[in-house]
Amino acid sequence: MTAATLRVGAISAVATTALRAQVLRPGSPLGDCIYPGDTDPLTLHLGARRDGGPIVAIASFYREAAPAELGAWTAGLAENRSWRLRGMAVHPELRGTGIGKQVLTAALALLQERHDLRLLWCNARLGALGFYENMGFSLVGAAFSVPGVAELHRLGVWRKPGPDGGR
């Protein structure tokens, strides 16, 4: 299966939980795969799948102020232009096929079109840092641990320049 054979589109918050449980929180109760903000009307959940097939990649995007570690990147940035990527996962058998890039690229376009996106940030697992760096993200601060979840690193910034210099 290649990324080109997949379709990326909006999915419900509930549709993200199975892949979140499998990839991001194995062995945890399904309730641990429901994140704060999942049901907010502005939250964007995307999934990739073959027509009629199972969802094989997911990502959720929340309008959320960037953390202080992003420092100068957030100076003067209106909160409604800052978004957080959370819960991105690709089925283990399909990693490295371009599916994650397809999902993230679709999300960036949608967020820019609908909300004038200026900043996207996330906390990424250490094993996924190369993916995010290839997508234009930069490391910010030091790695940290979330007990029972993973070793993570804060990442930013995807920034779409605008007439006001990106703010």
CATH number at residue 23: 3.40.630.30
pLDDT per position as a tens digit, 22-33: 998 888 888 888
| pLDDT (0 to 100) of residue 159 | 55
Cis before 157? omega within 30 = yes
Residues 49 and 56: beta-carbon distance below 8 Å: yes
Q: Does 12 fall in a domain? A: yes
Q: Which domain holds residue 19?
A: 3-120
Output 54 or 71, whichever has higher pLDDT. Answer: 54
Residue 143's pLDDT band (cuts 50, 70, 90): confident
DSSP E strand boundaries for 71-132? 82-90, 119-125
Question: Which of 93, 95, 66 lies closest to 159, judged by CA?
Answer: 66
Residues 121 and 157: beta-carbon distance below 8 Å: yes
Q: Does 155 fall in a domain? A: no
Cα radius of gyration (the chain): 15
In sequence order, what are the residues at sequence separation of 6 or more whose Cβ sits closer than 8 angstroms to the Cβ of residue 146?
123, 152
| pLDDT (0 to 100) of residue 153 | 73
| pLDDT (0 to 100) of residue 56 | 94
* Number of domains, the chain: 1
Residue 3's pLDDT band (cuts 50, 70, 90): very low
Whether the per-residue pLDDT at 146 is higher than 90: the answer is no
Query: What DSSP element (H or E) covers 102?
Result: helix 99-115
| pLDDT (0 to 100) of residue 86 | 93
| pLDDT (0 to 100) of residue 162 | 46
